[in-house]
A and B are shown apart, each in its own frame.
Chain A
Amino acid sequence: MSGRRMNRISRLFPYITVFFIIALFSGDFVRLGSLTFQIIAILSLTIFVTGFWSRVSVWAKGGSSDILRKALASVFSIECLFAYRLFSKSMIRGLILVLTIWSFSVLTIGSICLSLEYLLRTDLTSSGFFSLSMDIAGSALLLSILFYLGRRLIVERARQIAVMEDMVLLFTFLLIVITGFANEGLRLAYMGVAPETMRPAGALLAGAITSFSHNPAVILRVRDVVWKIHALLSFFLLAYIPFSKQFHMFAAQIVTKEAGRRKRELRSILHE
């Protein structure tokens, strides 16, 4: 397909996006919601995979053919999962990075479970352990995001180099976490579940919500909107990651592992 023709098609993207958003939120009226949700999910996943492939194929231009194998091996390295390098600079930042990595991983796995549950019509997430894990991970990620935002406002050198993209990403993450919590609170408020120890954050929010309204229809309506905002933002983030600075979540793993190896081998350069 010629570049000019692709360019003409690309001009339709904003209209297609607006159509999908309207369709998603009109779900209860015209029964397009579920289908639109699935189309958006497939589209964002497709964009993510295409973008990921595009970035990795740039890496491969440097001559190494085993990039993906290296990347996979690095993701599971201890130095990356426990942020050894950052810990040596700052205990607090190291701890925050560990919280970010682990909470993001738990939430991603949890979201995949929820999606599978929806697609396979099977129960995967009803255990108390699942709820508690998501609660803890959500709280940890919220704390991390607030730390990163605060650091960009307070620490001069971080503020100096902050660009709009950083803020877009951080606020997207923040909104996803907030709407995630709100969604859980609304769900529990609608179900009328009593405060439980296995989902403390959700139960706390449910208590707060029911103090405002006891009307299940209103709660359900609000929850529907909040859930769709949460899902849309998550899909946006998924599609945006390969085109954004956030792609460092994959690249940094490989580089950190390599830096560890290089540091160990530095002395051997002139001693072999």
Chain B
Amino acid sequence: MSEKETFTSCLSSGQLIELDACTRCGECLKYCPVQEVTGRLSISPPEKIRIFREFIRATDGLKARLFGPGEIDRKLLEEFTRAVFECTTCGACGQHCTVGIFTQRLWPMLRKEMVRRGIGPIGGQAKIPEVIRNTGNPYDKPAAERFSPWLPENTRIAEKADIAYYAGCTGAYSAQPMVRGDVLVLNAIGDRFTMLPPEEEVCCGFPLFITGQHDMLEDLTKRLVNAYKAKGVKVLLCSCPCCVNMMSRDWPLFYGGDLPFKIRHITQFVVEALKDRRLTIKKGLKERLIYHDPCYLSRGVGIIDEPRTVLRSIPGIELLEFEHHGLESRCCGAGGAARKVFAENANAMGRLTIDEAVEKKADRLIFSCPACYAQVNEAMVGYEKQITITDIMELLGGLL
């Protein structure tokens, strides 16, 4: 592809306006976790926006229209690509943006443009489509091992049911105590639920979406939606914030209309069950817990109160908060499919989360996201500060 070709084709009108709306006030610099750990200005949101705006000006500006597109500096293009793929897409910059730019959606679209131009993605991210095509998941693991290592014995999975549970690839392969906890809690609630067979429960598409590789998304979405539709599902439950985001925000676009079922995060379902007394927590816990809001759960789909309601329903616990929590939570380094490619950044961010939890004298750090869970566990390896890390459903599953 010619470097002089337009840079606008992957962006919506709203996103093109957002690029022009940045005032370069610098507010976001206080909150960008990648900039915090790398200290590099090129990764900062205003710089990414400024440079991309320069690209657009070179190919679509008034001068380009009158005199033809200008030259784009290849080195600048490569530096920009690195910066946009190094970002964790946590969206903290957008949350604090004084204008209100929706960066959690803007960065993936800039990545998509770089992929379209053949410059992105970076490193192992480029293999994700092929791996998903071959195995159905981005971890290159066999489908046969998707459920077997963690699915509790005696779990009764209905052939058809109103409720379905989607484990997700990261949970199933990298955060198994979490998905095991999900199913233990579902079993305790006792409602009939169904699951797709392991070879049919393929990736939700989030890793492809977030790395700008959108070619397979329509196919994956239709396969999953039609499979759940065939099982008569009315509510699809999932505990992974990235999957929930993908399902609720993007599946309708790739499916081509409203989904035939509702999407719910598992904590929403548990809160309802606690309220209706279909679920009771029998054991107490004398511990100080600190809950980390996953970026794609809080800023992504607004699930902030439910996990806290679940935790507060455990007798004896004291719930602590991070300085930045809820919509303003700080990324633990797991986001944006960048944690393997930029592992050093991800571990540094994870350790900041551990540091704060330890400083607040929490006994346990609670997550509600398999990527956060896996990443912070990884960041703790060889680190001087240690804390017990537990997924919210893993904790609940052990107290029933």
Known contacts: A62-B13, A85-B99. The answer to whether A161 contacts B47 by CB under 8 A is yes
Least Cβ–Cβ distance between B269 and chain A, in angstroms? 11
Least Cβ–Cβ distance between B304 and chain A, in angstroms? 9
> Number of B interface residues, CB 8 Å?
52
Within 8 A of A (CB), among B203-240: none
Q: Which of B8, B12, B46 contacts A58 (CB 8 A)?
A: B8
Q: How far is the CA of A270 from the CA of B60 in the complex (A)?
A: 38
Contact between chains at B67 and A6 (CB < 8 Å):
yes
Least Cβ–Cβ distance between B299 and chain A, in angstroms? 8
B278 within 8 A of A: no
A18 within 8 A of B: no
Q: Which of A50, A254, A270, A271 contacts B17 (CB 8 A)?
A: A254
Stretch at the interface among A31-39, A115-123, A201-209, A261-269: A261-269
Contact between chains at A270 and B21 (CB < 8 Å):
no
Contact between chains at B16 and A262 (CB < 8 Å):
no
Contact between chains at A54 and B61 (CB < 8 Å):
yes
Contact between chains at B244 and A270 (CB < 8 Å):
yes
Contact between chains at B65 and A54 (CB < 8 Å):
yes
Contact between chains at A270 and B62 (CB < 8 Å):
no
Q: How far is the CA of A210 from the CA of B25 in the complex (A)?
A: 41
1/0 per residue, CB under 8 A from A, across B55-71: the answer is 01000111001111000
B264 within 8 A of A: yes
A3 within 8 A of B: yes
> Number of A interface residues, CB 8 Å?
49
Q: Which of A155, A162, A269, A270 contacts B24 (CB 8 A)?
A: A162
Contact between chains at B100 and A248 (CB < 8 Å):
no
Q: How far is the CA of A256 from the CA of B61 in the complex (A)?
A: 24
Least Cβ–Cβ distance between B294 and chain A, in angstroms? 14
1/0 per residue, CB under 8 A from B, across A44-73: the answer is 000000110011001111111001000000
**A159: nearest chain-B partner, CB-CB:** B26
Residues of A within 8 A of B11 (CB): 62
Contact between chains at B8 and A161 (CB < 8 Å):
no
Least Cβ–Cβ distance between A34 and chain B, in angstroms? 30
Known contacts: A60-B13, A158-B25, A255-B18. The answer to whether A3 contacts B101 by CB under 8 A is no
Contact between chains at A55 and B26 (CB < 8 Å):
no
Q: How far is the CA of A271 from the CA of B305 in the complex (A)?
A: 13
1/0 per residue, CB under 8 A from A, across B262-291: the answer is 111100100000000000000000000000
Known contacts: A6-B67, A157-B30, A161-B26. The answer to whether A55 contacts B20 by CB under 8 A is yes
Residues of B within 8 A of A263 (CB): 100
1/0 per residue, CB under 8 A from B, across A66-92: the answer is 010000000000000000011001000
Contact between chains at B264 and A270 (CB < 8 Å):
yes
Q: How far is the CA of A256 from the CA of B97 in the complex (A)?
A: 10
B98 within 8 A of A: yes
Contact between chains at B66 and A243 (CB < 8 Å):
no
* Nearest 7 pairs of A and B residues by beta carbon: A259-B100, A62-B13, A64-B13, A251-B20, A266-B302, A251-B21, A157-B26
